[in-house]
Structure formats: structure tokens, C-alpha cells
Structure 1
């Protein structure tokens, strides 16, 4: 079906976008046609993604398994340049799965349904564009494009404080995005040749001062999205006010853009600066892990507790990126995939309970296990995955990060012991706050006035199906991690040559002992 010349990447980006702009033409008085149409477009696109990767993955054995490039706006050097390698491939599949399930989870939306599903499809397209873009300006356009739908989705379909949460989200993320453009253009204009091609940007030999400044700019931009402490404060507000389908996308995909950007830009393009900032990333990662875990205890709002949990779990991504080992990097990637699936399941189930109880305050729930056994079982399974129960993806990903960092020769033994102990504290706290959440919500006396209100109290077949679609890959990856890691194993994915060189140097030298004026260019001498 697909040949090497087929514009596959353009197709999977364009289909949701074209489908979105066709929505206003569909007559639909009650919203049923719109939701069926949107789900069909999303499902076709997801099947296209999976089939396309299946057909093409083993064909290409270069930096990028799939590449497309078309002249778009030559006056400013903008090119429609797309590429997918082992780093972006699993994240695109994750985006397709969660976006499709989020549309299916929006079955009850009737308020301004045309606008709602239009925004979800535009967001679907922008997510894939971020992970596939190989032109810096195109990447920035896609990055900005995905912010607008989220802002509108929260501000119109959110909770009581939706305008505050939406405004805070757009201010944090949009202002931080400026650093991507500024740092990227500084790199593009450096040297004799101006280029926006990300691969060519990664091969330039920048002075260390420029690398450091660009690294800081990218770290701020991607750190807000990840989110890294102290740029995290928008996340609990956004999650607590967003509807469940929007929270699925926010936690399942959008946070992963931050980790992807750190790997693609900070690590691959700026390895000299990464050497200097790696210990800081480890420290920030540990702060995220411990701070997020402790903060979760203080949250009585169900979604805010899950949001704090996300902050904690994304800290492992930072530690893995800074480990300077293949195992650590693979663990960081696996953690992004694992957390995307787990967080999407938990936030969807929080929406299921909210529809029945009309509250997110855990102390106003209780005793729901008897009246909602299916929801209780699914919520328990997703929580077990989040607390890294062996046999589930969370266990494999966090263990890989731990072992990858412990095996790193880039840090002193004392530093590794301290980091491991502190991160271990976060691991110990995670099952405590998750199990206490289950106890408060599902055990004890029923303090809510649960009513049928004309529909089934427990999870419906559609809701069970959505959760199972997320739990199955969680268990599959937990039992057989190679299902996920095979596509992005660093021995398979060819990273930029100077990045690989930096890794080889650092594994033989402690970060603390590398001279301040060291550059990767010295390796060739």
C-alpha cells in the first residue's frame, strides 16, 4: 500500500486537519454525526500511523526511517521537512492512540460539539507535527499550534475556575515557547550558512558560550512543558479544571513533548553544553520526584493528586536523559511512553467517577467499590501500574532509569548514591499516596449521594473499552519491554555523530573532572 515515495508523514498530519475543517459542513442537530465523523477520522489516521510504521520500519536503516521534504516558503527558508526515527516513532503512535481514545471519551459532549471536535482534530494534527518536524520553524509552528486548542478546550469546557487555569496554561507555555524561537534562530544564523534544518543545526560547531545560552533557552521552554520544578505550577490547575478527555491528552502526550524536546535539541544538538548541565538535570529530576510525591499527599482533589503524581514521574525522564548510558536513555524514553498510557487511563477514570459523583474532592467520595466494581477494578489496575508494580510498564521504565544511572561512569559514587537514595524516597512515597487515594475513594462509608440519574452507575462498555485499550499495552510492555524499546534502542537509532562522541568521552570521564573549556571538537584531534 505504501511505497517509499508515498507522502506518508504529510498524510497523517494533514488528514486530521483537513477533517477538522470539514466539520462545519456537516449538518448535525444533536452532535451525533459530528462525534461519529470525528472518531472515524481519528481511527483511520491511527490505523494509517500503525500500518505505515509496520510497513516502513524495517525498510529504512538511516538516521530517519521515513523522510519527506518539500519547499514551502523559500523566502524565509521554511521547508515542509518531516522525519521519523526511533525516537519520534513511538511518540507518534502514542499520540494517535490517546487522541483517538480521547475523542471516544468525549461521547457525552453536546455543548458546542462542532467546535469541540474541531479543536481535538487540530490538536491531533499538531501533536504529530511536533514529533515529525525536521525544520526548526516548522517545529515551532506546530508547537504553538497545539497550545491554542488546549487553551480553548479548557476555557470553554472546563470547571468553575476554567478561565484562570486556561490563562495560566497559555501564559506559561506560550511565553516559554519564545525561547525555542530565539535559541533556534541564534543557532540558525551562526556560521557561514543559514539553515533551519534540525539535522544541519546539530552538526554545526558552536562556541561554548552560544551552546550554553541556547541550552538554557531550550531548557526553559521544554522544562515548562515537561514540567520541571519550579515551572510546574500551571499543571495542577490545568488538570483540575480540564475535562477528562483533555486531561488524557495533556498528561498522555503534551508533557512528553517536553522530554522529546530535551532529547532532540539539548542532548543531540548541544552535547558540549549538555555535559555541563547534566548534573543540574539530575538534581532537578530528583527534586521533581520527591517534591511531586510529597505534594501529592497534600492534595484532596483527585485530579490534582494525579497531576502531582505526573510531576513526580516525569522526574525520572530527566535523570535518564542525564545518565549518559544507553540504558538510562532507553529508560527515559520508556518512562515517557509508560507514563503517557498510565496517566491517560487514570485521568479518564477520574472523569468517570466525576460524572457519577459530581465532585473531585476525595473526602466527599468513599465506599464506591460496592456500587462501582468495574470502575474500582480498572482504577486499581491503573494505580498499580503507576506505583511501578512488577509486570507493568512503570516498573520496567523506572528500573531502567535507576540501573542506567547507577551504571554511569560520568558521576562520582557519592553523587550516585545520594541521587539513588533520594529518588528511592519518591518510589516509596508513590504507592503510599496512590493506595491511600484508592482507600479514600473506594473504601469506607459511602458519603456521596450516588444516583442513577437515568444512566448506569458503574462504568459503561465504552468506558471499559477505553481503559482496557490503555491497560493492555501497559501490561504488554511490562511483560515484554522490547515491544517498545526495540524502535528507539540507541544502538539502533543513529544519533548525531558529535552526540555519540560526547557519550563515549563522558563514560570514560567523570563529569566533575571534564575541563570547563572542553569541546567535542577536541575528540577529533
Structure 2
């Protein structure tokens, strides 16, 4: 663990939080000043995070760095403990970038602009706090704080069914959070050492039965946020009704919180249970990939089609986590960063289109290419990135996951062949539903919602999209740009996961009731499969 004399992470978290409570003091009549204020704070925090990591973070070390530890609620043993490593550091930058751009995307908000930017800044702080927290109760509180702004942002600035979508979101995510709290408290009280510190929790000698139960609790909680089928149904409704800035954050950051937590807690803190559940994650990943792709075909609402696309793409993250290989883990982290950029760009462009057409119904579109050529070009670039065109970040992430799973010695050849063939079906379906989306929107006869369009994307909208496309292409052409920031950590995580396998093999002999769970991958052959 590497500490610094200055509390960089606290500063990064506190800046947007403190700034949000200063908004009532900002002199503003029509929301023009407050939007500059919010954008300035977001940009300042992004620069601060980049500077702190550039100057004080060593990419070659897998250890936690920029460590801070302060007594917070000593009566119950809760500390303000922060640190970042190769898994969390890229996601902090992603969250800062996407949230800052979402503030610029909300430039035309005229309904309660002070409240709008107040909520965005609260989200900004909570999201970064989740990625940096090293105390389970601290993590849980920040996780919960992030839910409230999303609910209000959808309920006030959403579409016609906004209250239904917002209520469904808060019910799913808040109920799922109970599983985080129960699992965290159980781990804290386990054994003689009472602690909420994540690193100390990961060192406890849990029984295999306890690990399995805690793993299930975390899997349910983070499966809702990722989202994993069948816990996903809140996402299409939320995206379908949320405004473009909120959809950018939902797709670009919130889903990644689920993937991050699965790695941090399920995989790192409960490695023996992960041996059992990794095959299940692989199966769930395949279900996500194919189900999300097929469900996209049935959607006539543009943003709901993209939402199901996100479900499909996050299935690859599950495959990477289940791979037990360094390359697969690297691909999982890269896929999260890549999808965060691509999805944020696509949902923003959907918002640009909605501003002109006043509809998300693709049946009312058509012929947009002539009226909005710049938007057409940007939509095409981002769609190509989403379908994993070589030279784009999506291609690198999915390729790493495929190769990582293929090279894994944890599974039988038959299991790997089935998984990879089914995943390949998803890869084939992805360009079909994305290209058909482009065809219906931009080609053919003009739809009735297109006839009155006279304005293409403006400079602000071009800048936002370009700010996301540039790193998408840069990572696609030179993946080391991002992989060098986390390779040391993903190697360590994958090695630790493999080291847990022999221990589980011994326990399976002594616990025959757990020796053959009713899933193909956990039969004794899987210790065969899981060597």
C-alpha cells in the first residue's frame, strides 16, 4: 500500500460534493450561470484526478495506492478509507469524463437547472467514492447516495412514463442493496477480528459454505446494477425515459459499478466461492450476450434498443471475470472502459436526434442522413465501435476476452467450445441490429418526424461526441494506452483466483454435499474443468 502526504482522493470526492451545496449561492436567473458553474467544477475535478494519478500513481505496482485512512464513525468501527489500484483508477477517470460531458450535454435544461446540476454533482462525488472506498460501510453508503439523484433525475426530467421508470429503478437497486449490507455485516462479524476494512475482510479464513452464501448475496446486488439476466428489467425502462445526460451516466458509469464490485468483492475477497461460481458467470454471460442482442431486434424505441445492446455487451465482462486468465481479466476491465465511452456517445447522439425529431420511435424516422449528415457520420462511427470494428476499443476488449477464455486451462475443451460458439452468435447478431438501426434511421423515405428538421448537430454536440470518440479510436489503435494502467493488477487478480482452486478441490472432497452442484461446470470433471 502506497500512501501520499496529500489526501488526493478525498479532494477528488469532496470537490463536487462541496460545490453542489454552493449552487444556491450562485447568482442565476435563467440557469445560464449555474450550467457554467457545474461544468467548471466537473472539469476541475477531472483535471485534478488526472493530475493526481499521473504524478502519484505507479502503473507498475499492483498494490493499492494513494491510501488514506481516517477515523469517521469510530463508535461502530467505520473509517473513511480510500485507495485506488489498477481496477478502480481507470474507472475513476471514466466516471469523471462521462459525468463532466453529461453536464455539457444538459446545457439546454431550463426546468429547475439548479436542482439538475446539484444532483449531477452529488452523483459525480458518489460514483468516484464507490470506486475508491475501502471500508464496506463507507462503500455501501456511497452506493446508496448515488441512487437518489438518479431517481430524481429520471422522475423530473424524464419522458412520459418517467415516474414508473424511476420507481422501478429505485425499487430494484435499493432492494438489491440490502444484500450488500447483509453480506458485508456477516463478513465483518465473522471470526474474532471485527472489521469493515475490505483488505482485512479479504484475508479472513471463511468457511466455504459462508463464502458461497456471501457470494450469492453480492452477486444478486451487483447483478442488478451490471445488469445480469433476469435482474435487468429496470434498465430498458430507465433508459427509455431518462434524458440524454442521465442515460450517458447510466450506461457510461453506473453499469460499471456492478462489474467493478463483482471483481473487487466476489472475485478478490471470496476467491474460493468464485471457483464454484465462475462457470455460472460464464453461462450468465452467454445468456446476457444472446438475450440482449435478440431483445434489441424487438425494440422500436431507439434508446430501449441501445439499452438491450448494453445488456448484451456487459455479458462479455462476465466472461472475462470467469476466465481465470490474465488476458481475460484485462479484457473485462477494458470492456468496461470501452463500453462506458461507446454507450455514453450513442445515448448522447440518441438525445441529439430526439431534440430534432421529438420522438424515439424508429418507425417515425427515416431519411435522417440528408437532414443531419454530421449526426449520421457520428452515429455510424459509434455504432461501428459498438459492433467491435477493428481499430476501435470495442474490438480490443472483446478480442482479449475471447482469447483469454479460449486459453484458460480452468475448463474442459467441450465447455469452452460451447461458450465461445454461443458468444460468437452474439457477435454476429450485434452488427445486424446496429446496422438495421442505422438503416431505419438514416436511409429510405423521410419519416413524418423528419420533415421539419433544419438543424444538424451544433458545435457543442460535436465536441461532446468527439471527446468520447477520440479515446475510443486511440485505445483501439494503441491498447497499451489503457492496459498499462491496470495490467499489474489484473495479473495479480487472475493469479489469486487460480491459487484458490487447489484449496477448493480439497474442500470439495471433505464436503460431499458441495462436491457436485447441479451445474455442468462444477461437476468433479470441472476440477478437470477447474484444475
In structure 2, the partner of 1:38 is 38
How far, CA to CA, are the matches of 2:223 and 2:448 in structure 1?
A: 39
- The question of 1:501 aligning with 2:499 is answered yes
Preserved contact between residue 179 and residue 218 of structure 1 (Cα < 8 Å) = yes
How far, CA to CA, are the matches of 1:476 and 1:343 in structure 2?
A: 16
Preserved contact between residue 269 and residue 499 of structure 1 (Cα < 8 Å) = no
In structure 2, the partner of 1:473 is 471
How far, CA to CA, are the matches of 1:33 and 1:238 in structure 2?
A: 29
Moved over 3 A (4+): 59-62, 449-453, 490-500, 503-507, 510-517
How far, CA to CA, are the matches of 1:514 and 1:9 in structure 2?
A: 45
Instruction: Describe the superposition over 1:422-456 as per-residue Cα deviations: whole angstroms up to 9, x where unpaired.
Output: 11000000000000000000000111344768xx6
How far, CA to CA, are the matches of 2:298 and 2:526 in structure 1?
A: 42
Distance 1:416 1:23, change over 3 A: same
Instruction: Describe the superposition over 1:318-374 as per-residue Cα deviations: whole angstroms up to 9, x where unpaired.
Output: 011000000011111110001000000000000000000000000101001011000
CA RMSD of aligned residues (A): 2.3
In structure 1, the partner of 2:508 is none
1:335-346 superposed matches below 5 A: 335-346=335-346
How far, CA to CA, are the matches of 2:450 and 2:59 in structure 1?
A: 55
Task: For residue 193 of structure 1, report the CA deviation from its aligned partner.
Answer: 1.0
In structure 2, the partner of 1:143 is 143
How far, CA to CA, are the matches of 1:177 and 1:333 in structure 2?
A: 23
* TM-score, normalised relative to structure 2: 0.93
1:37-436 superposed matches below 5 A: 37-58=37-58, 61=61, 63-436=63-436
SS of structure 2 residue aligned to 1:146: helix
In structure 1, the partner of 2:480 is 482
How far, CA to CA, are the matches of 1:323 and 1:397 in structure 2?
A: 14
Preserved contact between residue 281 and residue 318 of structure 1 (Cα < 8 Å) = yes
Task: For residue 487 of structure 1, report the CA deviation from its aligned partner.
Answer: 1.2
Instruction: Describe the superposition over 1:183-224 as per-residue Cα deviations: whole angstroms up to 9, x where unpaired.
Output: 011000001010000000001010111101000000000000
Preserved contact between residue 410 and residue 506 of structure 1 (Cα < 8 Å) = no
Task: For residue 65 of structure 1, report the CA deviation from its aligned partner.
Answer: 2.1
* TM-score, normalised relative to structure 1: 0.94
Preserved contact between residue 371 and residue 458 of structure 1 (Cα < 8 Å) = yes
How far, CA to CA, are the matches of 1:170 and 1:255 in structure 2?
A: 15
Instruction: Describe the superposition over 1:81-122 as per-residue Cα deviations: whole angstroms up to 9, x where unpaired.
Output: 000001000000000000000000000001001000000000
How far, CA to CA, are the matches of 1:500 and 1:82 in structure 2?
A: 27
Preserved contact between residue 289 and residue 311 of structure 1 (Cα < 8 Å) = yes
Instruction: Describe the superposition over 1:165-189 as per-residue Cα deviations: whole angstroms up to 9, x where unpaired.
Output: 0000000000001100100110000
How far, CA to CA, are the matches of 1:98 and 1:138 in structure 2?
A: 23
Distance 1:481 1:514, change over 3 A: farther
Preserved contact between residue 324 and residue 498 of structure 2 (Cα < 8 Å) = no
Moved more, 340-349 or 442-451: 442-451
SS of structure 1 residue aligned to 2:22: helix
Task: For residue 56 of structure 1, report the CA deviation from its aligned partner.
Answer: 1.0
Preserved contact between residue 15 and residue 45 of structure 1 (Cα < 8 Å) = yes
How far, CA to CA, are the matches of 1:378 and 1:504 in structure 2?
A: 50
Distance 1:303 1:491, change over 3 A: closer
Distance 1:324 1:500, change over 3 A: closer
Distance 1:503 1:461, change over 3 A: farther
2:458 pairs, out of 457, 460, 463, with 460
Distance 1:493 1:63, change over 3 A: farther
Distance 1:161 1:316, change over 3 A: same
How far, CA to CA, are the matches of 2:174 and 2:303 in structure 1?
A: 24
Task: For residue 70 of structure 1, report the CA deviation from its aligned partner.
Answer: 0.5
Preserved contact between residue 275 and residue 511 of structure 1 (Cα < 8 Å) = no
Preserved contact between residue 383 and residue 434 of structure 2 (Cα < 8 Å) = yes
Note the residue ranges of structure 2 that are not aligned, 5 or more in a row: 506-519
Note the residue ranges of structure 1 that are not aligned, 5 or more in a row: none
Instruction: Describe the superposition over 1:373-425 as per-residue Cα deviations: whole angstroms up to 9, x where unpaired.
Output: 00000000000000000000000101111110011111111111111111100
Preserved contact between residue 244 and residue 351 of structure 1 (Cα < 8 Å) = yes
How far, CA to CA, are the matches of 1:11 and 1:311 in structure 2?
A: 34
Distance 1:368 1:498, change over 3 A: closer
Task: For residue 16 of structure 1, report the CA deviation from its aligned partner.
Answer: 0.2
Task: For residue 489 of structure 1, report the CA deviation from its aligned partner.
Answer: 1.0
Distance 1:419 1:449, change over 3 A: closer
Preserved contact between residue 189 and residue 195 of structure 1 (Cα < 8 Å) = yes
Preserved contact between residue 63 and residue 493 of structure 1 (Cα < 8 Å) = no
How far, CA to CA, are the matches of 2:176 and 2:43 in structure 1?
A: 33
How far, CA to CA, are the matches of 2:501 and 2:298 in structure 1?
A: 40
